[in-house]
C-alpha cells in the first residue's frame, strides 16, 4: 500500500493528500510532528535524506517533492478521476501554474508563515536545544531559515514577500475572473497545488483576499473546499500543532 509521510492538510503536504483523496486511492498516512522536529529525526531521514515532507513510499520507491508526487500518482495510478488535461497544450498550461506556485507563490507565503508561526516554536526552546535541532537539519538553506525564525526575519524581506503575495493573489483573481479552473477548463493538479497555498488566505491575509478585492479567487477557494474529497481530507487528517512539546 502507498505510504504518505506528511504534516497536516496545508501547504505542500496538502498537495499529495488532496490528490490521493480526489483519486480515491487507499494509502497509509503518517502525520509527522513538526513541533517535535520529527522530520529531522534519523528514522525519517532514512526515508528522505533531505528531512522534508511530504514523501511518498510506493513499494521500494521513495518519491519526494510535493508536485512531483502528484504527477507520479497521476502517472502510476490512473483512475476515473483525471487530474490532468488530455491534450499536450493544456497539460503544459497546467504545469506553468504548478511551476509558478512552486517557484514564486509558495515561497513568499511560506516566509510570512514562518515569521508568524514557526518563529514562536523556534523561540520557545532553549538556545542549547535549538542548536542541537539545527545540527540535525540536512539542508543548509533550511538551517538559515530556522535561524531567521528564531532571530527575526529582516523587515525589508517581509515587506518584499508581502508585495509578492499581493502580486500572486491578483494574478490568480484576474485569471479566475474568466476561468472556472486554472488550466484546460477542468479541475487539475494546477488547482490542487495552488489551493495548497491559497486556501484559507481569506483568513490569514484578509486585507488581500476578500469578497471585495478578490471575488473570483475567493469563489475558487470555496469551490475547492466544498468538494467531497477536500471535506473528507479535512475531516480525517488533523492539522499539526506548532506548540513545543514538553
- Model confidence pLDDT, tens digit, residues 11-38: 999 999 999 999 999 999 999 999 899 9
pLDDT digits (tens, 9 = 90+) for 75-129: 999 999 999 999 999 999 999 999 999 999 999 999 999 999 999 999 999 999 9
d(CA 225, CA 81) in angstroms, rounded, equals 17
d(CA 235, CA 227) in angstroms, rounded, equals 12
Mean pLDDT (whole number) for 150-171:
97
pLDDT digits (tens, 9 = 90+) for 205-225: 999 999 999 999 999 999 999
Those residues whose C-beta lies under 8 Å from the C-beta of residue 192, and which sit 6 or more positions away, are: 14, 15, 18, 19, 22, 70, 83, 224
DSSP 36: G
Nearest by Cα to 29 from 16, 39, 41, 38: 16
246 — pLDDT class (breaks 50, 70, 90): very low
Question: pTM of the entire structure?
Answer: 0.95
Q: What percent of the chain has pLDDT over 70?
A: 98
What's the confidence (pLDDT) of residue 94? 98
Nearest by Cα to 145 from 56, 34, 15, 14: 34
- Mean pLDDT score of the chain, rounded to an integer? 96
Nearest by Cα to 165 from 121, 214, 124, 132: 214
Angstrom CA distances, 98 to 35, 116, 123, 211, stand at 28, 25, 33, 25
242 — pLDDT class (breaks 50, 70, 90): low
240 — pLDDT class (breaks 50, 70, 90): confident
Task: Retrieve residue 202's grid coordinates.
Answer: 481569506
Amino acid at each position: 500500500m502507498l505510504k504518505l509521510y506528511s504534516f497536516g492538510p496545508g501547504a505542500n503536504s496538502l498537495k499529495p493528500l488532496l490528490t490521493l483523496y480526489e483519486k480515491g486511492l487507499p494509502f497509509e498516512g503518517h502525520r509527522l510532528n513538526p513541533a517535535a522536529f520529527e522530520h529531522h529525526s534519523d528514522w525519517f531521514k532514512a526515508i528522505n535524506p533531505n528531512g522534508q515532507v511530504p514523501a511518498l513510499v510506493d513499494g521500494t520507491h521513495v518519491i519526494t517533492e510535493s508536485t512531483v508526487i502528484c504527477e507520479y500518482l497521476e502517472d502510476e495510478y490512473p483512475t476515473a478521476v483525471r487530474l490532468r488535461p488530455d491534450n499536450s497544450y493544456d497539460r503544459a498550461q497546467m504545469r506553468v501554474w504548478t511551476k509558478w506556485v512552486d517557484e514564486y507563490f509558495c515561497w513568499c507565503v511560506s516566509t510570512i508563515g514562518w515569521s508568524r508561526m514557526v518563529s514562536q516554536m523556534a523561540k520557545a526552546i532553549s538556545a542549547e536545544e535549538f542548536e542541537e535541532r539545527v545540527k540535525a537539519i540536512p539542508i543548509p538553506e533550511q538551517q538559515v531559515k530556522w535561524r531567521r525564525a528564531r532571530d527575526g526575519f529582516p523587515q525589508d524581506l517581509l515587506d518584499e514577500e508581502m508585495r509578492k503575495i499581493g502580486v500572486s493573489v491578483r494574478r490568480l483573481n484576474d485569471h479566475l475572473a474568466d476561468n472556472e479552473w486554472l488550466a484546460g477548463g477542468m479541475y487539475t493538479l494546477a488547482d490542487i497545488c495552488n489551493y495548497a497555498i491559497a486556501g484559507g488566505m481569506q483568513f490569514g491575509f484578509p486585507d488581500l483576499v476578500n469578497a471585495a478585492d478578490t471575488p473570483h479567487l475567493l469563489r475558487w477557494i470555496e469551490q475547492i473546499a466544498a468538494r467531497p474529497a477536500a471535506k473528507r481530507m479535512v475531516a480525517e487528517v488533523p492539522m499539526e500543532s506548532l506548540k513545543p512539546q514538553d
